[in-house]
Chain A
Amino acid sequence: MNGWLAGLAVLIPLAGAAVTLLAHGLPRAQTVLSLLFAAALLLDASLLMAAVWRDGMVVVQASAWDAPFGISLAVDTLGAVMTLIAAITGLACLAYATAEIDEGHRRAFFHPLSHVLLAGVCGSFVTGDLFNLYVWFEVLLIASFGLLVIGGTRAQTDGAVKYVALNLVATSLFLLATGLIYGLTGTLNMADLSRAVPRVENTGVLNAAAMLLLAAFGMKAAVFPLFFWLPASYHTPLVAVSAVFAGLLTKVGVYALIRTVTLIFTHDPEWINGVLLWTAGLTMLTGVLGAAAQNEWRRILSFHIVSQIGYMVMGLAIGTKLAIVGSVFYLVHHIVVKANLFLIAGVAQRLTGSMELKRSGGLYEAAPWLAILFFIPAFSLAGFPPLSGFWAKFIVIKAALDERSIAIAAAALVTGLLTIYSMTKIWGEAFWKPHPAGPVEETGAPRAMVVPIAALAACTIVIGLFAQPFLAVAERTAAELTDPSAYAAAVLGRLP
């Protein structure tokens, strides 16, 4: 039964895509079906999380072929957590979208594409096979491209073309690296790889393949110096779409980095973790500096995605158990917070008429409820206690100081400062400053928009105030990640 929960995490959104496509001519039915499938995915993800928590790792061999001959689906705590958070974000953004999209967007296959995207995300989180991961990356890429161009405006198409061109290069790197790794080890199953990789004598080629793979993932995750596609495209699409992207897409890259570095490429930590640590520091700083120069809601937020990714990579690079706890905690916290900030940006645009901070303002008086809702994720992002971001930063920095990595801890602190600076910029401009065109009307926003925002904000507060259970999950995740042989044994079912 548990195995089915893993499979359904992919099959539900896939079926959702097919069904909403078939219901294309029936707008109302399509919307209802779309939300139903998203809800079903959330249910499945919750059950999967419960199953993993109760019974340990869920492993299922697709098509009933023994590992490593078929494709293994292997869901450890990390996979289950990520699937759950993806399902939550997906449902929230789809609900928001029902109030945002118009008939044109619907006709451009918004709902089927969204479900394919979710399938790609969940597929990446549940798979235990390197090539299968590649497939879900491709699914992700193409669905996100479709969603980027859905409005059909010039800016969107321009952003989307760059997005797809650059990401195709990354995906090709992924494929090439996978080919090399298969050639070196003779297997694609990640559990099998974790046993085979240390036996490879040709460390140079192996590291080269690993670097290409990490470059591909790094590009997805938008780390330095491969991040520029992100701020160039994330401010253009529908708000709900950019929220899903901001929340989930880069995090798939981070997830893949965490998975491969902790499970497969454990053979040469000096080289690989060293590269990652530099990357992390530069990513944090360049991202946050880029954000400081922006004056548009979503551009600022996009650059902050980059800088926050740096924190997650930093935890991974330090590599101690505590550091990985920090990374995982950061990952979960950031998905919720960042998706929410994008959704809030959408509501702000609706009320003030612009995402440009210069042409915005007056929200504090007109929509104090939005001010409160903005406060929570914004100051969580900036790492203010007792919100979720504080714990995330706390753990990562503590891990760095425990390892005496003073420089990276300093970089993390400076990034924190500039993040506060950016968030107060948005706050001062969009909320406190009077609107240049006179007072903003005190109109509300559609309930379908406010409810998801409030729900995600509630998640942030809960994670912050009652961090204990989340921390317990992160701890177990880190314990699993730092013990790759257990993963391998669970998937392969026999000892080496």
Chain B
Amino acid sequence: MPDGIVLACLVGLPFVAAIVAGLLPTRARDTASMLAGAVALVCLGLVWSAYGTVSGGGVLRAELPWMPQLGLSIVLRMDGFAWLFAGLITGIGALVVLYARYYMSAEDPVPRFFSFLLAFMGAMTGLVLSGHLVQLALFWELTSFLSFLLIGYWHHTAAARDGARMALTITATGGLSLFAGVLVLGHIVGSYDLDVVLAAGDTIRDHPLYIVALILIVLGALTKSAQFPFHFWLPHAMAAPTPVSAYLHSATLVKAGVFLLARLWPVMAGTDAWAWTVGLAGLITMLIGAYIAIFQNDLKGLLAYSTISHLGLITLLLGLKSELALIAAIFHTMNHAAFKCSLFMAAGIIDHETGTRDIRRLSGLNGPMPFTARLALVAAAAMAGVPLLNGFISKEMFFAEALSATAPVHPLLNVLPLAAMLASAFSVVYSLRFIHGVFFGSPPTDLPRTPHEPATWMRFPVEILVLTCIMVGVLPAATVGPYLDIAARAVLGDATPYYSLAVWHGVNLPLLMSVVAMAAGVTIYLILQRRLREGMDGPPLIRHLDAQRLFERAMVTLSWRLARTLERIAGTRRLQPQLRLILIAAIVAGAGAAFVRGVGPGNLVPAPIDPVLALLWVVGAACALGAAWQAKFHRLAATILLGGVGLVVCVTFVWFSAPDLALTQLTVEIVTTVLLLLGLRWLPKRMQSSSAREPEVLGRTRRLRDLAIATAAGGCMAMLAYVVMTRTPPELLAQHFLARAYLEGGGTNVVNVILVDFRGFDTLGEIFVVGVVALTTFALLRRFRPAADSVELPEQQRDQLEADEARHARDDGRHVADWLLVPFTLTRLLFPVMLVAAAFLLLRGHDLPGGGFSAGMVVAIAIILQYIVGGTEWTEDRLSLLRPPAWIGTGLLLAAGTGVAAWAFGLPFMTSYFSYADLPVLGKVPMASALIFDIGVFVLVVGATLLMLIALAHQSVRGRRSTPRTLPQAKASPRVADAVGGGG
């Protein structure tokens, strides 16, 4: 088979099978396990089929371009080293599937389990077969993610959820770090291709960024392989179903870190920095892990810490500057996978058949389950490094390396053999504890289930693995020799040193060390046995050195305390501090920028100050200040003062010959003031003065500070404006507008031509703003219920009612109607006049001051007048045409339609068409299509203003209805409200 197909199938097949398994019905346990087993075996077969190539030192390689711009492609590459790992992953995968078939309860959604497991197998295979660094990081993250799902498989328990989350947080962070490290490495080498990287060892080690890349990549590897100080996630991951622990946490996932370190060993190792980071982490992990393992009461916890310790051993070997140590590391990786996986499976069997994993409760299981006991005994002996088992041989190699290692500093040199012996002694202790505590002693009592041997096929995978341990242990060179050789040569190439795999190397120092460690281990166990049986509260001496607690505290600090503090400082939910912050930010940004780069002087001489205009502006400024000052204390006064400001602006417009703006400003001013006044009525009463809540000094300081901020903001803005206006650029658009408005726009009123033609697109947007404001006001007030303190009728209305009652008038409001008779009549007479005026403004707008907007405003004012004087009900009875939303819609459609109409003439959108039309009576009238646009604006403005008016005016109608009081039900016209869409 071509390389590409073999490799693609190896990676792809498990993923495809994962999807298929995921689609199986929840109870299809047998189908799912058969599928998973078959896929694992097929993959194993595929790996085996590549043996021919890799055994001759060949490399299978397949490349598929993916994202050439980023230098990314999919590269699958299998050399001897990857081949060995792929074999481990698929082979042990097949055994775990068989085991899981019997371990998983039929009540669990087993197909989901196998789906995740298969996907994990695919990701892991993808990782070891990656020939591209980014792709490796990608599969790396994928394995973290899938292990998250697998650890949390029993998600109803909090332990599983927390364990999964912790594992993901640690390993995915490591993954991100690795990802960054890979980027740096790619930056150094100029390529992400593994072959290129592996050929660039000297470039990498001599590069100034080497340390950065090293730290980032090592961080990734240490987190994944549960090395100190990131080891604590692994014991928590034991909440996973046991097949997951056996597969991920002994044989595959945790080996990924070691795999990566070994993979990059030829190009990154050999420096002091490497030895210090990798070697030291391994050394500490090996000792601490083994020590803590002794004191675990949970079988899986013991195995987890033992795994941590053995991974530490492997990491330590990788950290040494020796090729032989690398070979020992690879060898121990394989051995560890075999015995640890079988031990996990044995622990799972014990758990499955007895219902507990607590060593203190278990004892004497040798009676009811003799086969399992023998298997576990052999596996544990391998873990302890007993001769004639595989663990012994790699341990001997480790001892030899520990003795001959050239460590970067002198003292470490002496420590190494001692530490190796100590760790080995510890491993004897916990192995003894596992076997002696569980299988020997008095017969078991008081267990949740009566123990018995498991199903034959459940024990089968353990048998295979234990057999492997024995065979490798007895005949290492004949069994595992060739494979180890392939892997070692793939990593080291020609630098592979001579080594010998044999049980007996004669009486030498390593053997002596083994004997001493063994004896020490047994002695320690005998001393500790009783106390361990009674249970000890964590490992002595380092009980408080709990990395997990540190991690949790760090996460709490980060995610809770720091976040809360930040929220308190910057994320206040109150409006005032937020506004303050924005203004300060704006001042700092603006003034800072101006200050840093400097502000040049102006080139224009300021015009002389006109005393009248200055006075006007003094009045206007006083009004503005007064409005701001009174806004909190006297709303009516503030509104009126605001009107004063508007008026000053209006006069200023006239002053500078902008009648159009003045007209618009005036009408807008009138309408807004009326609407504001209508709204004032429903605002809640003013809050009590703040002196009740805080000392007056504080309040005053706060106000002074706000005043300072406001002054600074205004002052800076004025300065900037002054600088800009005393230094005009040579060309302003305005000059072009003046020149072209009539000749090309067909109107002498430049402002109007700008609005409907030059910048008609702006106007189109703005009228939608007006329309939306009206719709929103209406929608908001539709559900508005006034505050309790403003429901009461105002004093004036009460007086009127009293007067009405005193005179026994037939209907309420008579008194007002009498009083207002004259203005009432006048406004009715004025109504048609104002409509004509509006039409006049609208039609002449293109040439003289006016236009759709001001015309609409005038109509709105006319109707407001009727409302004010005639009352809501009277007006609405007579103006049944008032359907403001329809007006708004029509206006918007007309305006937008004018924009589209140009399409028919093959012109760009919004283009206006212009000609003169001969109308009867009026004569020759300039007609621009812009007029239709303007009519749209007009219709919209009328509709929008009215809708707001109605929304506000109906508050009082509804207010009266909702308060029975002494009033009879008001005869409100529901028509308008219904037309609008159901207020009332």
Contacts and interface: CB of A to CB of B under 8 A. Distances in A.
Contact of A289 (B137, B179, B184, B559): B559
B586 A142 contact: no
A64 B909 CA distance: 8
17 contacts: A8-B900, A18-B892, A19-B893, A63-B761, A135-B762, A142-B776, A146-B775, A157-B780, A161-B575, A183-B721, A185-B729, A201-B600, A224-B570, A292-B558, A401-B184, A420-B168, A421-B165
Contacts of A162: 573, 575, 578
Contacts of A61: 908
A405 to B, nearest CB: 12
B910 A7 contact: yes
B693 interface: no
Given A7-B910, A169-B582, A215-B586, A271 B761 contact: no
Contact of B776 (A123, A136, A146, A293): A146
B899 A7 contact: yes
Contacts of B778: 109
A138 B723 CA distance: 27
B599 interface: yes
A142 B772 contact: yes
A84 B780 CA distance: 32
A374 interface: no
Nearest to A184: B724
B733 A180 contact: no
A63 B890 CA distance: 22
Interface in B408-437: none
A11 interface: yes
A170 interface: yes
A152 B885 CA distance: 19
A186 B733 contact: yes
Interface string A283-318: 000100111110000000000000000000000000
Given A3-B909, A289-B559, A428-B161, A63 B757 contact: yes
A293 B560 contact: yes
Interface range on chain A: under 10, 10 to 19, 20 to 34, or 35 or more? 35 or more
Interface string B602-616: 000000000000000
A468 interface: yes
Given A136-B765, A292-B558, A421-B555, 14 more contacts: A60-B908, A62-B910, A63-B761, A64-B907, A162-B575, A205-B724, A207-B596, A208-B720, A212-B589, A219-B582, A226-B582, A228-B581, A293-B559, A432-B152
A189 B766 CA distance: 18
B438 interface: no
Contacts of B404: none
A286 B566 CA distance: 7
A216 B910 CA distance: 29
B564 interface: yes
Interface stretch (A254-262, A334-342, A350-358, A392-400): A392-400
Contacts of A432: 152, 155-156, 160-161
Nearest to B561: A293
A347 interface: no
A138 B598 contact: no
Interface secondary structure of B, over-half rule? helix
B592 A384 contact: no
Given A402-B187, A432-B161, A63 B138 contact: no
Given A4-B909, A229-B578, A203 B893 contact: no
A269 B355 CA distance: 68
Interface in A396-423: 397-398, 401-402, 406, 409, 413, 416-418, 420-421
Contacts of A182: 732-733
B579 A21 contact: no
A209 interface: yes
B66 interface: yes
Given A14-B896, A19-B889, A203-B597, A186 B589 contact: no
A113 B732 CA distance: 36
Contact of A62 (B566, B575, B593, B909): B909
Interface in A120-145: 120, 123, 131-132, 135-136, 138-139, 142-143, 145
A183 B720 CA distance: 10
A18 B893 contact: yes
A197 B903 CA distance: 35
A207 B886 CA distance: 46
A253 to B, nearest CB: 14
Interface in A132-178: 132, 135-136, 138-139, 142-143, 145-146, 149-150, 152, 157, 161-162, 165-166, 169-170, 173, 176
Contacts of A207: 593-594, 596-597
B798 interface: no
Interface stretch (A68-76, A453-461, A484-492): A68-76
A43 interface: no
Nearest to A428: B161
A22 B570 contact: no
Contact of A169 (B579, B589, B598): B579
B339 interface: no
Contact of A132 (B145, B571, B762): B762
A345 B911 CA distance: 45
Contacts of A69: 733, 736-737, 740, 758
Contact of B600 (A152, A204, A431): A204
B159 to A, nearest CB: 12
B559 A467 contact: no
A353 B67 CA distance: 44
Contact of A108 (B559, B779, B886): B779
Contacts of A120: 765
Interface of A: 3-4, 7-8, 11, 14-15, 17-19, 21-22, 24-25, 60-65, 68-71, 107-109, 112-113, 116, 119-120, 123, 131-132, 135-136, 138-139, 142-143, 145-146, 149-150, 152, 157, 161-162, 165-166, 169-170, 173, 176, 179-180, 182-188, 196, 200-212, 214-215, 219, 224-226, 228-229, 231-232, 268, 271, 275, 286, 289-293, 364, 379, 382-386, 390, 394-395, 397-398, 401-402, 406, 409, 413, 416-418, 420-421, 424-425, 428, 431-434, 467-468, 471-472, 475
Given A3-B909, A225-B570, A417 B172 contact: yes
A406 B578 CA distance: 32
Interface residues of B, number: 124
Given A152-B782, A226-B582, A398-B183, A139 B559 contact: no
A303 to B, nearest CB: 9
A397 B907 CA distance: 47
B571 A231 contact: yes
Given A63-B908, A212-B586, A384-B141, A146 B67 contact: no
A63 B758 contact: yes
B169 A211 contact: no
Interface string B60-93: 0000001101100000000000000000000000
A179 B772 CA distance: 25
A24 B885 CA distance: 8
Contacts of B903: 4
B596 A183 contact: no
Contact of A417 (B169, B595, B724): B169
A338 to B, nearest CB: 19
Contact of A286 (B160, B570, B765, B982): B570
A208 B183 CA distance: 38
Interface string B707-735: 00000000001001101110111111100
A187 B579 CA distance: 31
B176 interface: yes
A179 B718 CA distance: 12
A217 B599 CA distance: 24
A146 B772 contact: yes
Contact of A186 (B138, B729, B783): B729
A293 B911 contact: no
Interface in B558-588: 558-560, 562-564, 566-567, 570-573, 575, 578-579, 581-583, 585-586
Contacts of A397: 179-180, 183
